[in-house]
Structure 1
Amino acid sequence: MEEKINKLTAIYEKIENQVDNLKKKTCVSCIVNCGECCKRFEPYISVLEAVPLAKYLRNHPEKHKLYKRNVEQNKVKWNACPFYDNETHCTVYDIRPLICRLFGFSANRNRQQKIIFATCTKIEQEMPEKVKVARILTAKGLDVPIYQDIAQEIQDIDFVMATDYHPFSKSVKIAMDNYDSIMQDNFQKTENSAHSFSDLLRRKIRTGEFL
Protein backbone atom coordinates (compact mmCIF):
# COMPACT_ATOMS: atom_id res chain seq x y z
CA MET A 1 0.00 0.00 0.00
CA GLU A 2 2.87 2.37 0.64
CA GLU A 3 3.77 2.09 -3.04
CA LYS A 4 0.22 3.08 -3.96
CA ILE A 5 0.38 6.06 -1.63
CA ASN A 6 3.65 7.08 -3.29
CA LYS A 7 2.01 6.87 -6.72
CA LEU A 8 -0.87 9.01 -5.50
CA THR A 9 1.61 11.52 -4.08
CA ALA A 10 3.42 11.65 -7.43
CA ILE A 11 0.15 12.50 -9.17
CA TYR A 12 -0.51 15.22 -6.61
CA GLU A 13 2.97 16.65 -7.23
CA LYS A 14 2.36 16.69 -10.99
CA ILE A 15 -0.89 18.57 -10.43
CA GLU A 16 0.88 21.14 -8.24
CA ASN A 17 3.44 21.77 -10.99
CA GLN A 18 0.70 22.18 -13.59
CA VAL A 19 -1.29 24.56 -11.39
CA ASP A 20 1.81 26.59 -10.52
CA ASN A 21 2.55 26.96 -14.23
CA LEU A 22 -1.07 27.91 -14.92
CA LYS A 23 -0.93 30.61 -12.24
CA LYS A 24 2.33 32.02 -13.66
CA LYS A 25 1.00 32.09 -17.23
CA THR A 26 -2.42 33.57 -16.42
CA CYS A 27 -2.13 35.21 -12.97
CA VAL A 28 -5.34 33.38 -11.98
CA SER A 29 -5.25 32.71 -8.24
CA CYS A 30 -7.46 32.01 -5.25
CA ILE A 31 -9.10 35.02 -3.64
CA VAL A 32 -7.05 36.00 -0.58
CA ASN A 33 -8.54 34.65 2.67
CA CYS A 34 -11.53 33.20 0.84
CA GLY A 35 -11.92 29.57 1.92
CA GLU A 36 -15.47 29.37 0.55
CA CYS A 37 -14.83 26.02 -1.15
CA CYS A 38 -13.89 24.60 2.28
CA LYS A 39 -16.89 26.10 4.05
CA ARG A 40 -19.74 25.90 1.57
CA PHE A 41 -20.07 22.15 0.96
CA GLU A 42 -18.68 18.70 1.67
CA PRO A 43 -17.23 17.18 -1.51
CA TYR A 44 -17.16 13.52 -2.40
CA ILE A 45 -13.74 11.85 -2.40
CA SER A 46 -12.60 8.28 -2.91
CA VAL A 47 -11.45 5.99 -0.14
CA LEU A 48 -8.04 5.87 -1.84
CA GLU A 49 -7.65 9.64 -1.50
CA ALA A 50 -8.68 9.34 2.15
CA VAL A 51 -5.87 6.91 3.03
CA PRO A 52 -3.12 9.60 3.41
CA LEU A 53 -5.54 11.58 5.59
CA ALA A 54 -6.25 8.51 7.74
CA LYS A 55 -2.53 7.88 8.08
CA TYR A 56 -2.03 11.48 9.20
CA LEU A 57 -4.77 11.19 11.83
CA ARG A 58 -3.37 7.93 13.17
CA ASN A 59 0.05 9.53 13.52
CA HIS A 60 -1.35 12.67 15.20
CA PRO A 61 -3.83 11.65 17.94
CA GLU A 62 -4.38 15.25 19.03
CA LYS A 63 -5.36 16.20 15.48
CA HIS A 64 -7.63 13.16 15.29
CA LYS A 65 -9.46 14.30 18.41
CA LEU A 66 -10.02 17.77 16.92
CA TYR A 67 -11.07 16.24 13.60
CA LYS A 68 -13.70 14.03 15.26
CA ARG A 69 -15.05 17.01 17.18
CA ASN A 70 -15.43 18.98 13.96
CA VAL A 71 -17.18 16.05 12.25
CA GLU A 72 -19.68 15.79 15.10
CA GLN A 73 -20.35 19.54 14.96
CA ASN A 74 -20.97 19.28 11.22
CA LYS A 75 -23.64 16.64 11.85
CA VAL A 76 -25.61 19.24 13.80
CA LYS A 77 -24.96 22.09 11.38
CA TRP A 78 -22.50 22.17 8.49
CA ASN A 79 -19.65 24.55 9.28
CA ALA A 80 -16.60 23.68 7.20
CA CYS A 81 -14.32 20.86 6.17
CA PRO A 82 -13.22 19.16 9.42
CA PHE A 83 -9.62 19.84 8.42
CA TYR A 84 -10.28 23.57 7.92
CA ASP A 85 -9.07 26.27 10.31
CA ASN A 86 -10.29 29.85 10.01
CA GLU A 87 -6.81 31.28 10.54
CA THR A 88 -4.50 28.82 8.81
CA HIS A 89 -7.11 27.45 6.37
CA CYS A 90 -6.33 23.90 5.16
CA THR A 91 -4.44 22.01 7.87
CA VAL A 92 -3.64 19.06 5.57
CA TYR A 93 -2.73 21.06 2.49
CA ASP A 94 0.07 18.76 1.30
CA ILE A 95 -2.16 15.67 1.35
CA ARG A 96 -5.50 17.26 0.38
CA PRO A 97 -7.62 15.22 -2.06
CA LEU A 98 -7.94 15.62 -5.80
CA ILE A 99 -11.03 17.83 -5.83
CA CYS A 100 -9.41 20.28 -3.41
CA ARG A 101 -6.41 20.58 -5.73
CA LEU A 102 -8.38 20.98 -8.94
CA PHE A 103 -11.22 23.21 -7.81
CA GLY A 104 -10.71 26.48 -9.64
CA PHE A 105 -7.59 25.37 -11.52
CA SER A 106 -8.43 22.57 -13.91
CA ALA A 107 -10.12 21.75 -17.18
CA ASN A 108 -12.79 19.34 -18.39
CA ARG A 109 -12.97 17.53 -21.70
CA ASN A 110 -16.45 17.87 -23.20
CA ARG A 111 -18.24 15.42 -25.50
CA GLN A 112 -16.46 16.87 -28.50
CA GLN A 113 -13.16 16.27 -26.67
CA LYS A 114 -12.57 20.02 -26.42
CA ILE A 115 -10.60 20.98 -23.32
CA ILE A 116 -12.30 23.80 -21.41
CA PHE A 117 -10.79 25.65 -18.45
CA ALA A 118 -13.02 25.59 -15.37
CA THR A 119 -12.77 27.78 -12.30
CA CYS A 120 -14.85 28.73 -9.26
CA THR A 121 -17.55 31.40 -9.27
CA LYS A 122 -15.61 33.82 -7.08
CA ILE A 123 -12.48 33.68 -9.24
CA GLU A 124 -14.70 34.12 -12.31
CA GLN A 125 -16.29 37.21 -10.76
CA GLU A 126 -13.12 38.76 -9.34
CA MET A 127 -10.74 38.02 -12.23
CA PRO A 128 -12.80 37.83 -15.45
CA GLU A 129 -10.00 39.01 -17.74
CA LYS A 130 -7.47 36.60 -16.25
CA VAL A 131 -9.94 33.74 -16.54
CA LYS A 132 -10.51 34.72 -20.17
CA VAL A 133 -6.76 34.47 -20.79
CA ALA A 134 -6.70 31.09 -19.04
CA ARG A 135 -9.45 29.79 -21.32
CA ILE A 136 -7.69 31.04 -24.43
CA LEU A 137 -4.34 29.53 -23.43
CA THR A 138 -5.98 26.25 -22.40
CA ALA A 139 -7.68 26.03 -25.80
CA LYS A 140 -4.26 26.59 -27.39
CA GLY A 141 -2.71 23.71 -25.49
CA LEU A 142 -1.51 25.08 -22.15
CA ASP A 143 -0.72 22.11 -19.90
CA VAL A 144 -3.44 22.20 -17.25
CA PRO A 145 -4.81 19.40 -15.07
CA ILE A 146 -7.73 17.67 -16.82
CA TYR A 147 -10.11 16.19 -14.28
CA GLN A 148 -11.08 13.09 -16.26
CA ASP A 149 -7.48 12.19 -17.11
CA ILE A 150 -6.18 12.54 -13.58
CA ALA A 151 -9.11 10.62 -12.13
CA GLN A 152 -8.26 7.81 -14.54
CA GLU A 153 -4.63 7.86 -13.40
CA ILE A 154 -5.79 7.51 -9.80
CA GLN A 155 -8.10 4.64 -10.75
CA ASP A 156 -5.10 2.87 -12.27
CA ILE A 157 -3.44 2.85 -8.85
CA ASP A 158 -6.25 0.88 -7.19
CA PHE A 159 -9.55 0.68 -9.03
CA VAL A 160 -11.57 -0.59 -6.06
CA MET A 161 -10.60 2.14 -3.61
CA ALA A 162 -10.42 4.87 -6.25
CA THR A 163 -14.04 4.26 -7.32
CA ASP A 164 -15.43 3.90 -3.78
CA TYR A 165 -16.86 7.41 -3.37
CA HIS A 166 -18.50 8.98 -0.32
CA PRO A 167 -18.79 12.40 1.31
CA PHE A 168 -15.36 13.56 2.51
CA SER A 169 -15.70 12.66 6.20
CA LYS A 170 -17.30 9.30 5.46
CA SER A 171 -14.44 8.25 3.17
CA VAL A 172 -11.96 9.26 5.88
CA LYS A 173 -13.91 7.18 8.41
CA ILE A 174 -13.88 4.17 6.11
CA ALA A 175 -10.13 4.57 5.62
CA MET A 176 -9.63 4.84 9.38
CA ASP A 177 -11.88 1.87 10.21
CA ASN A 178 -10.23 -0.33 7.58
CA TYR A 179 -6.71 1.05 7.91
CA ASP A 180 -4.93 -2.21 8.76
CA SER A 181 -6.56 -4.16 5.95
CA ILE A 182 -5.94 -1.29 3.53
CA MET A 183 -2.25 -1.21 4.39
CA GLN A 184 -2.15 -4.97 3.73
CA ASP A 185 -3.94 -4.51 0.40
CA ASN A 186 -7.01 -6.42 1.60
CA PHE A 187 -9.64 -3.70 1.32
CA GLN A 188 -13.10 -4.69 0.07
CA LYS A 189 -15.28 -2.05 -1.58
CA THR A 190 -18.09 -0.86 0.68
CA GLU A 191 -21.56 -2.06 -0.28
CA ASN A 192 -23.13 1.36 0.19
CA SER A 193 -20.75 3.35 -1.98
CA ALA A 194 -22.86 6.39 -2.81
CA HIS A 195 -22.20 6.62 -6.54
CA SER A 196 -19.96 5.18 -9.18
CA PHE A 197 -17.16 7.40 -10.42
CA SER A 198 -18.88 7.72 -13.80
CA ASP A 199 -22.11 8.93 -12.18
CA LEU A 200 -20.25 11.47 -10.09
CA LEU A 201 -18.26 12.74 -13.03
CA ARG A 202 -21.34 13.10 -15.20
CA ARG A 203 -23.05 15.05 -12.43
CA LYS A 204 -19.99 17.24 -11.96
CA ILE A 205 -19.85 18.14 -15.64
CA ARG A 206 -23.61 18.71 -15.82
CA THR A 207 -24.27 20.65 -12.63
CA GLY A 208 -21.13 20.88 -10.47
CA GLU A 209 -23.38 20.10 -7.49
CA PHE A 210 -21.06 17.72 -5.66
CA LEU A 211 -18.11 20.14 -5.83
Structure 2
Amino acid sequence: MLNQRWTRLSLQIVELYQELDRDVAAFAVQSGMRCPSGCGACCRSPHVETTVAEMLPLALLLFENGEVESMLERLEHGPVTCTQYEAVPGHPDQGRCLNYAQRPVLCRLFGFMGSRDKAGQSRYGACKVLQTIAADRIEAVDADVKTGAMDIPLLIPAHERIAEIGGPLGTDTLPINQALLRAIEIVGLSQQLEDLGAEESREAL
Protein backbone atom coordinates (compact mmCIF):
# COMPACT_ATOMS: atom_id res chain seq x y z
CA MET A 1 0.00 0.00 0.00
CA LEU A 2 1.42 3.38 -0.97
CA ASN A 3 2.43 5.73 1.83
CA GLN A 4 -0.74 7.29 3.26
CA ARG A 5 0.93 10.62 3.89
CA TRP A 6 1.65 11.18 0.21
CA THR A 7 -1.73 9.81 -0.78
CA ARG A 8 -3.53 12.31 1.48
CA LEU A 9 -1.35 15.16 0.24
CA SER A 10 -1.99 14.12 -3.36
CA LEU A 11 -5.75 14.12 -2.81
CA GLN A 12 -5.57 17.69 -1.52
CA ILE A 13 -3.60 18.75 -4.58
CA VAL A 14 -6.08 17.03 -6.89
CA GLU A 15 -8.92 18.90 -5.19
CA LEU A 16 -7.10 22.17 -5.91
CA TYR A 17 -6.58 21.08 -9.52
CA GLN A 18 -10.30 20.46 -9.89
CA GLU A 19 -11.06 23.90 -8.46
CA LEU A 20 -8.62 25.53 -10.87
CA ASP A 21 -10.11 23.60 -13.78
CA ARG A 22 -13.53 25.01 -12.94
CA ASP A 23 -12.09 28.53 -12.75
CA VAL A 24 -10.35 28.13 -16.11
CA ALA A 25 -13.50 26.74 -17.71
CA ALA A 26 -15.55 29.67 -16.42
CA PHE A 27 -12.97 32.17 -17.71
CA ALA A 28 -12.87 30.44 -21.10
CA VAL A 29 -16.64 30.74 -21.42
CA GLN A 30 -16.68 34.40 -20.39
CA SER A 31 -13.68 35.43 -22.48
CA GLY A 32 -14.19 33.21 -25.50
CA MET A 33 -10.54 32.18 -25.34
CA ARG A 34 -9.69 28.66 -26.49
CA CYS A 35 -6.48 26.76 -27.11
CA PRO A 36 -6.24 25.62 -30.74
CA SER A 37 -7.09 21.92 -31.03
CA GLY A 38 -4.02 19.79 -30.38
CA CYS A 39 -1.76 22.76 -29.66
CA GLY A 40 1.39 21.79 -27.79
CA ALA A 41 3.44 24.96 -28.19
CA CYS A 42 3.70 25.62 -24.46
CA CYS A 43 4.50 21.96 -23.73
CA ARG A 44 7.65 22.18 -25.85
CA SER A 45 9.21 24.93 -23.76
CA PRO A 46 12.37 23.83 -21.91
CA HIS A 47 11.56 26.36 -19.17
CA VAL A 48 8.46 24.74 -17.62
CA GLU A 49 8.98 24.50 -13.87
CA THR A 50 6.84 23.12 -11.08
CA THR A 51 7.10 21.96 -7.49
CA VAL A 52 7.67 18.40 -6.35
CA ALA A 53 4.32 18.46 -4.53
CA GLU A 54 2.48 19.11 -7.80
CA MET A 55 4.03 16.00 -9.34
CA LEU A 56 3.03 13.67 -6.49
CA PRO A 57 -0.34 12.74 -8.06
CA LEU A 58 1.47 11.57 -11.20
CA ALA A 59 4.18 9.77 -9.21
CA LEU A 60 1.56 7.86 -7.21
CA LEU A 61 -0.31 6.96 -10.39
CA LEU A 62 2.88 5.59 -11.94
CA PHE A 63 3.47 3.35 -8.92
CA GLU A 64 -0.15 2.17 -8.92
CA ASN A 65 0.02 1.29 -12.63
CA GLY A 66 3.47 -0.31 -12.47
CA GLU A 67 4.89 2.29 -14.87
CA VAL A 68 7.73 3.67 -12.75
CA GLU A 69 10.56 1.88 -14.55
CA SER A 70 9.43 2.99 -18.01
CA MET A 71 9.05 6.57 -16.78
CA LEU A 72 12.51 6.55 -15.22
CA GLU A 73 13.85 5.40 -18.58
CA ARG A 74 12.09 8.32 -20.30
CA LEU A 75 13.40 10.77 -17.72
CA GLU A 76 16.96 9.53 -18.15
CA HIS A 77 17.05 9.30 -21.93
CA GLY A 78 14.17 11.51 -23.04
CA PRO A 79 14.15 15.16 -24.11
CA VAL A 80 14.93 18.19 -21.95
CA THR A 81 11.35 19.29 -22.52
CA CYS A 82 8.50 17.67 -20.60
CA THR A 83 8.54 13.89 -20.99
CA GLN A 84 4.73 13.85 -20.73
CA TYR A 85 4.33 15.59 -24.07
CA GLU A 86 3.83 13.33 -27.09
CA ALA A 87 4.12 15.26 -30.35
CA VAL A 88 2.48 14.29 -33.62
CA PRO A 89 5.24 12.92 -35.89
CA GLY A 90 6.44 15.69 -38.17
CA HIS A 91 4.43 18.33 -36.29
CA PRO A 92 6.28 19.18 -33.05
CA ASP A 93 3.80 21.90 -32.02
CA GLN A 94 0.89 19.45 -32.29
CA GLY A 95 0.44 16.73 -29.71
CA ARG A 96 -1.01 15.69 -26.39
CA CYS A 97 -0.16 15.29 -22.72
CA LEU A 98 0.20 11.64 -21.74
CA ASN A 99 -1.05 12.38 -18.23
CA TYR A 100 -3.33 15.36 -18.76
CA ALA A 101 -5.37 14.85 -15.59
CA GLN A 102 -2.21 14.99 -13.45
CA ARG A 103 -0.60 18.07 -15.06
CA PRO A 104 0.65 20.74 -12.63
CA VAL A 105 -0.69 24.23 -11.93
CA LEU A 106 1.25 26.14 -14.60
CA CYS A 107 0.10 23.73 -17.31
CA ARG A 108 -3.52 24.11 -16.19
CA LEU A 109 -3.48 27.91 -16.13
CA PHE A 110 -1.15 28.80 -18.99
CA GLY A 111 -2.92 31.05 -21.47
CA PHE A 112 -5.88 31.49 -19.11
CA MET A 113 -4.32 33.14 -16.08
CA GLY A 114 -3.78 36.60 -14.73
CA SER A 115 -1.35 38.45 -12.52
CA ARG A 116 -1.55 41.63 -10.50
CA ASP A 117 0.14 44.81 -11.72
CA LYS A 118 1.86 47.37 -9.48
CA ALA A 119 -1.51 48.95 -8.72
CA GLY A 120 -2.86 45.61 -7.52
CA GLN A 121 -5.21 45.18 -10.46
CA SER A 122 -5.59 41.83 -12.19
CA ARG A 123 -4.32 41.67 -15.77
CA TYR A 124 -4.75 38.95 -18.38
CA GLY A 125 -1.63 37.16 -19.59
CA ALA A 126 -2.37 35.44 -22.91
CA CYS A 127 0.16 33.01 -24.38
CA LYS A 128 1.95 33.81 -27.65
CA VAL A 129 -0.36 31.55 -29.64
CA LEU A 130 -3.50 33.25 -28.35
CA GLN A 131 -1.86 36.65 -28.85
CA THR A 132 -1.61 35.73 -32.51
CA ILE A 133 -4.95 34.06 -33.21
CA ALA A 134 -7.13 36.09 -30.83
CA ALA A 135 -5.44 39.48 -30.90
CA ASP A 136 -8.75 41.23 -31.52
CA ARG A 137 -10.20 39.87 -28.26
CA ILE A 138 -7.28 40.19 -25.86
CA GLU A 139 -7.51 43.95 -25.25
CA ALA A 140 -11.20 43.71 -24.41
CA VAL A 141 -10.66 40.69 -22.15
CA ASP A 142 -7.80 42.44 -20.34
CA ALA A 143 -10.01 45.51 -19.81
CA ASP A 144 -12.79 43.39 -18.30
CA VAL A 145 -10.31 41.57 -16.06
CA LYS A 146 -8.77 44.86 -14.96
CA THR A 147 -12.11 46.37 -13.97
CA GLY A 148 -13.26 43.19 -12.23
CA ALA A 149 -16.04 42.58 -14.73
CA MET A 150 -14.48 39.20 -15.52
CA ASP A 151 -12.90 36.79 -13.03
CA ILE A 152 -9.61 35.17 -13.97
CA PRO A 153 -7.49 32.53 -12.22
CA LEU A 154 -4.33 34.04 -10.71
CA LEU A 155 -1.05 32.12 -10.73
CA ILE A 156 0.51 33.40 -7.51
CA PRO A 157 -2.48 32.56 -5.24
CA ALA A 158 -2.58 29.09 -6.81
CA HIS A 159 1.09 28.59 -5.98
CA GLU A 160 0.47 29.86 -2.46
CA ARG A 161 -2.21 27.19 -2.07
CA ILE A 162 0.26 24.55 -3.25
CA ALA A 163 2.78 25.79 -0.67
CA GLU A 164 0.15 25.55 2.08
CA ILE A 165 -0.66 21.98 1.09
CA GLY A 166 2.81 20.71 0.27
CA GLY A 167 5.02 22.54 2.74
CA PRO A 168 8.67 22.49 1.60
CA LEU A 169 7.77 20.26 -1.36
CA GLY A 170 5.30 22.90 -2.53
CA THR A 171 7.60 25.89 -2.27
CA ASP A 172 10.66 25.50 -4.49
CA THR A 173 10.28 24.95 -8.22
CA LEU A 174 12.35 22.67 -10.45
CA PRO A 175 12.31 21.89 -14.17
CA ILE A 176 9.26 19.69 -14.61
CA ASN A 177 11.18 16.48 -15.36
CA GLN A 178 13.39 16.96 -12.29
CA ALA A 179 10.33 17.62 -10.12
CA LEU A 180 8.73 14.39 -11.34
CA LEU A 181 11.92 12.42 -10.71
CA ARG A 182 12.13 13.77 -7.18
CA ALA A 183 8.46 12.92 -6.53
CA ILE A 184 9.07 9.36 -7.75
CA GLU A 185 12.11 9.05 -5.48
CA ILE A 186 10.15 10.29 -2.44
CA VAL A 187 7.22 7.93 -3.00
CA GLY A 188 9.56 5.04 -3.79
CA LEU A 189 11.64 5.55 -0.64
CA SER A 190 8.51 5.78 1.49
CA GLN A 191 7.24 2.55 -0.04
CA GLN A 192 10.53 0.79 0.67
CA LEU A 193 10.45 1.92 4.30
CA GLU A 194 6.85 0.75 4.66
CA ASP A 195 7.70 -2.62 3.14
CA LEU A 196 10.71 -2.97 5.46
CA GLY A 197 8.61 -2.11 8.50
CA ALA A 198 5.95 -4.62 7.52
CA GLU A 199 8.58 -7.33 7.05
CA GLU A 200 10.15 -6.63 10.44
CA SER A 201 6.71 -6.79 12.05
CA ARG A 202 6.05 -10.19 10.51
CA GLU A 203 9.43 -11.48 11.68
CA ALA A 204 8.71 -10.27 15.22
CA LEU A 205 5.52 -12.37 15.44
Indicate the TM-score class for this superposition, using the shorter chain for normalisation: 0.7 to 0.9
Aligned to 1:23: 28
Runs of at least 5 residues in structure 2 that lack an aligned partner in the other structure:
89-94, 192-205
Q: Residues 40 and 182 from structure 1, CA distance in 2 versus in 1: closer, same or farther, beyond 3 angstroms?
A: same
Displacement of 1:133: 2.6
Q: Residues 146 and 182 from structure 1, CA distance in 2 versus in 1: closer, same or farther, beyond 3 angstroms?
A: farther
Residues 2-38 of structure 1 deviation map (CA, whole Å, 9 limit, x = unaligned): 3322221121111111111111111111122220111
Where 2:123 maps in the other structure, the secondary structure is strand
1:53-92, aligned counterparts within 5 Å? 53-62=58-67, 64-65=69-70, 68-69=73-74, 71-74=76-79, 78=80, 80-87=81-88, 89-92=96-99
Displacement of 1:73: 2.9
Displacement of 1:45: 0.7
Aligned to 1:158: 166
Once residues 20 and 52 of structure 1 are traced to their aligned partners in structure 2, the CA distance between those partners, rounded to angstroms, is: 22
Once residues 99 and 41 of structure 2 are traced to their aligned partners in structure 1, the CA distance between those partners, rounded to angstroms, is: 16
**With structure 2 as the length reference, what TM-score do the two structures score?**
0.79
Aligned to 2:147: 140
What is the aligned residue count? 180
Residues 161-186 of structure 1 deviation map (CA, whole Å, 9 limit, x = unaligned): 10132111111111111115668xxx
Bigger Rg over Cα: 2
Q: Considering only aligned residues, what root-mean-square deviation do their CA atoms show, in Å?
A: 2.2
Contact 1:175/1:182 (<8 A) preserved:
no
| Residue 179 (structure 1) aligned to one of 179, 184, 187 | 187
**With structure 1 as the length reference, what TM-score do the two structures score?**
0.77
State the percentage of identical aligned residues.
Answer: 21
Runs of at least 5 residues in structure 1 that lack an aligned partner in the other structure:
184-211
Contact 2:84/2:97 (<8 A) preserved:
yes
